[in-house]
Amino acid sequence: MKILVLNSGSSSLKFQLFEMPEGQVLVKGLAERIGEQTAHFKANDYEVSRPLPTHKEALQLLTDYLLNPDNQIIKDKNEIIAVGHRVVHGGNTFVQPTLITPEVKAKIKELFSLAPLHNPANLTGIETAEQIFPKAEQVAIFDTAFHQTIPIENNKYAIPDTFYQEGIRKYGFHGISHQYVSRAANKRLGRTDTKLITLHLGNGASATAVRNGKSYDTTMGFGPMNGLIMGTRSGDIDQSIIFYLLDKMGYTSAEIQTILNKKSGMMALAGSNDLRDIETAARQGDEKARLALKMYAGAIQKYIGNFTAQMNGLDAIVFTAGIGENSDVVRRMVSQNLDYLGIRADLEKNKDPKTYQGDITAENSPVKIWVIPTNEEKEIAQQTYTLIH
């Protein structure tokens, strides 16, 4: 059964076509700069640059590619039985993979205010896929859904209760990724009654405490700015700063949003949001880059301590996403000086985790340390398959 997975951004469309249940990837690619003068489209080894005014033209181009007899992928559009969509915010409503109906679309629209950058683009992707694949089942997989198991003591803020009633609470994000790697970690442990910390360290970053296979706490909150230091987002800051910027320094709310979302994090500390540049600069003695790495790793360590205390123990730490999978520097800095928690990495294995099936645990470390590549698309395909099968 062929399942298409779509991850729609405001000007991009990432896609993968899977043969399920095998999980074989038939096509992988993306369209970027949709709506700009020239867009770029890539599917497997086919690439083209041309205008793609909307997501519809991008998805049509993908369909043409799939149907092209030279590529031998599908003969008929109806071979695609389902389209699984990544939807960032499911609010309090969506805790499961969900078949898309007019009511579900209306609810996703209602949630625009909670995820103004993402949910509108996600809905555009859904509506476009409905037009192009009218016979396929459309399924929404929510990035917040995995975190719906977080107990109230961890999802409620200590502010007046009316706000909680209005939905102002911790939602958490990157749920599809945390779910995928935590399941893989439990498989390695051979049981599900486990205590894990999953570290999704990409341009956005979050850590999740996963207890017995369920999200128990996570670093992102009502929105995706909280918690760890990220590429361009600040992570935790004192709320008073916002009022000081607003009331004393004359910044507008929109300017503060831009500062905290796009001009903070590693960009503010080291002048780049690409960790490779920062590592190079640090190696060459750049003090700002060194401090940035120290703060980046330190923020993660603080949450490792926090989550280990909350769960009263820890079986494994999982590193994933662009930085987690590729930066031996960050993994080393995060894993060091945590002996008292039973966390010790093997620094040689850390340099080349692939050779060790991602296991970088030192021999005398009670807590396992694993590098497990995330695969959000595969997780979406699996959840979509399970729902419609």
With contact defined as beta carbons under 8 Å apart, do 315 and 189 qualify? yes
For ligand AMP, the closer CB: 117 or 249: 117
Return the residues of window 182-221 that contact ligand AMP according to CB under 6 A.
Answer: 202-203
CA 164 to chain centre: 25
With contact defined as beta carbons under 8 Å apart, do 209 and 310 qualify? yes
Told to check if 71 binds ligand AMP by CB under 6 A, we report: no
For ligand AMP, the closer CB: 32 or 274: 274
CA 295, CA 197: separation in Å to the nearest integer? 19
Residue type, 351: K
Question: Which of 45, 64, 76, 143 is labelled catalytic?
Answer: 143
Tokens of 208: 């999740």
Told to check if 276 binds ligand AMP by CB under 6 A, we report: yes
Out of 255, 274, 286, 359, the residue judged to bind ligand AMP by CB under 6 A: 274
CA 53 to chain centre: 27
Q: Kindly state the smallest distance separating residue 87's Cβ from ligand AMP, in Å.
A: 18
Contact mark string toward ligand AMP, 88..117, x via CB under 6 A: ------------------------------
For ligand AMP, the closer CB: 11 or 310: 11
Sheet containing 137-142, strands listed edge to edge, beginning at the edge strand earlier in sequence:
46-50, 39-43, 24-32, 13-19, 2-8, 80-87, 137-142, 98-99
Out of 326, 359, 362, 378, the residue judged to bind ligand AMP by CB under 6 A: 326
Angle at 115 between CA 302 and CA 124, to 5 degrees: 135
Out of 227, 322, 353, 358, the residue judged to bind ligand AMP by CB under 6 A: 322
The helix/strand/coil state of 4 is strand
Closest listed residue to residue 291, CA positions, set 319, 260, 333, 258: 333
346 tagged catalytic: no
Cβ neighbours around 103 below 10 Å, total:
8
Which residue number places its CB atom closest to ligand AMP? 322
- Contact segment (CB under 6 A) with ligand AMP among 29-37, 280-288, 322-330, 333-341 equals 322-330
- Helix (H) / strand (E) containing 160: none
Phi-psi region of 254 (alpha: psi -120 to 50; beta: other; left: phi over 0): alpha
For ligand AMP, the closer CB: 202 or 223: 202
Q: Kindly state the smallest distance separating residue 354's Cβ from ligand AMP, in Å.
A: 12
Q: Kindly state the smallest distance separating residue 343's Cβ from ligand AMP, in Å.
A: 21
Handedness of CA 144, 243, 163, 209 (dihedral sign): positive
- Helix (H) / strand (E) containing 175: helix 175-189
Q: Kindly state the smallest distance separating residue 20's Cβ from ligand AMP, in Å.
A: 24
Told to check if 323 binds ligand AMP by CB under 6 A, we report: yes
Strand 13-19, strand 2-8: pairing: antiparallel
For ligand AMP, the closer CB: 85 or 331: 331
Q: Binding-site residue total for ligand AMP (CB under 6 A)? A: 11
Told to check if 275 binds ligand AMP by CB under 6 A, we report: yes
Told to check if 321 binds ligand AMP by CB under 6 A, we report: yes
CA 373, CA 27: separation in Å to the nearest integer? 19
Told to check if 345 binds ligand AMP by CB under 6 A, we report: no
Beta bridge partners of 84: 5, 139
For ligand AMP, the closer CB: 79 or 274: 274
- Contact segment (CB under 6 A) with ligand AMP among 42-50, 246-254, 290-298, 321-329 equals 321-329
For ligand AMP, the closer CB: 144 or 273: 273
Q: Which residues are catalytic?
A: 143
Residues that bind ligand AMP (CB under 6 A): 202-203, 231, 274-276, 321-323, 326-327
